[in-house]
Structure 1
Amino acid sequence: MNLRLRRPAIWALVIAATTATLVATSVVPSSATTGQGGQASAPRSTTNANGSFVFRTANGIVPTWESADVRITGVSPGSAISNFNNTGIEVTLPIVAVNGSANFASGGSRLTNVATGDFVNCATPVIDTKAKVVDCVTQGGINRRLFVIKSITAKSNIYGAFTRTTIYRGMTLRVANTVMADYLNDALDVNIFSPYVTFATGELTVNTKR
């Protein structure tokens, strides 16, 4: 039984995290995934790709995390970099493969309560632009649909002689639902996560062969 006292409720969200000890194999989103979201694209063959998924925390999110002793760090080859006054964080994850609308990233991030040592992993996330969800491998190898993409402002394609670059801009991120918010709050022994606040905006760039 967890006998630690809860902190006062604070609105906020957080992107989940990962450890280097988790397997580096991406998990394709499916109907069995914990959480909610739209339908992913029909199964296709998975092909190699490169690019990046980058998101930046919204105003007020980092101070809220820090008030609850929560920190986010990147796991190689992912990274999490603070701005000069530590009021914002940019997380960058490399894209390594694509299957239809599902884009597979390597590495990940880890969210840690530095006061208690509790943490949540988001390993090898899958960003599905059709279902508008972000799936993460969490502790115990469990795939959870932690986040939803509430909106995508723009999509563009750039064609080269042998490649195609697809760019999604203005991706707004939230915790998927109250179940996932409760999971994050319980796992980190805090009360700061909510599905009603945009915690980050980002963009996805994917390069594939034509």
Structure 2
Amino acid sequence: MRGKLIVSTAVAALALLAAGTALPQAAQADTTSTPVPATGSFSFTTGPGILSTWDYNNIKVSTSSPASYSTKNNGTQGTANFPVVARQQTATFTGGQIRITNSKTGEYINCLNPAVEVLVKVVDCVMADKTNKRLFTIAKIGAVKTLNSVYTTTTSYTGLDLKITDQATADWMNAKLRTNTFSPSVVFATGELVSTYSK
């Protein structure tokens, strides 16, 4: 990946791409292995004070199906949820889109089909121009649990602290949205990833 305009052809063979949707090639994913269908979800909830700061700066969040977005605690926190569609080694691929918009200028950033790579602790997105971009870093993983049954394995990661990847990415987002809201030093959300796949 690393700056290349790559979309995984292996993942493209899976269910989500049957509908013509692109998935990112996860960072460091084993390109010799084949992605397998999976179910589950990847979700994250913004931390206290994040939405109010974004609202003050005219930054809004929305999602497109099959992802969803909702607020809680009187609108002070927002939760985005993405269905899991495939897994490849330590990379988990999801469906849907999150859009971050400057409601004053109308400019926006789309993150399509986030891929969560827990080994290198990053979240990659397919951008509007079909390139991959590593928008988020997983600063910390709180806990990992694996449950094996006869036919399937379920793995859950909780307490995923999410940050903007680095200063260059924050600068890019700020320039794209004409704001100064984003910083790599802030944990903006805490997430959870659960995936079930056949053995």
**Do both proteins adopt the same fold according to a TM-score greater than 0.5, normalized to the shorter chain?**
yes
Q: CA deviation at 1:27?
A: 1.4
Deviating above 2 A after TM superposition, structure 1's stretches of 4 or more consecutive aligned residues are 40-43
Q: CA deviation at 1:74?
A: 1.1
Aligned equivalent of 2:83: 94
1:182 aligns with 2:171: yes
Q: CA deviation at 1:24?
A: 1.9
Normalised to the residue count of structure 2, the TM-score between the two structures is: 0.87
Q: 1:170·1:202 contact (CA, 8 Å) conserved in 2? A: yes
Aligned equivalent of 1:27: 24
The gaps in structure 1 that reach 5 residues or longer are: 1-22, 31-39
Aligned equivalent of 2:184: 195
Aligned equivalent of 1:68: 57
Q: 1:24·1:107 contact (CA, 8 Å) conserved in 2? A: no
2: CA distance between counterparts of 1:75 and 1:41?
26
Q: CA deviation at 1:142?
A: 1.9
- Secondary structure at 1:191 match in 2: coil
Report the residue type matching 2:23 in the other structure.
S
- Secondary structure at 2:134 match in 1: strand
Q: CA deviation at 1:41?
A: 4.3
1:133 aligns with 2:130: no
Report the residue type matching 1:90 in the other structure.
T
Which protein, 1 or 2, shows the higher relative CO under an 8 Å CA cutoff with sep ≥ 6? Answer: 1
- Secondary structure at 1:140 match in 2: coil
How big is each residue's C-alpha offset from its partner over 1:165-207, in whole Å with a ceiling of 9 and x where there is no partner? 1000110000000111011101111001000000000110000
Q: CA deviation at 1:25?
A: 1.6
Report the residue type matching 1:42 in the other structure.
D
Q: What is the Cα-based RMSD across aligned positions, in Å?
A: 1.1
- Total equivalences in the alignment: 179
Matches within 5 A, 1:86-165: 86-165=75-154
Q: CA deviation at 1:84?
A: 4.6
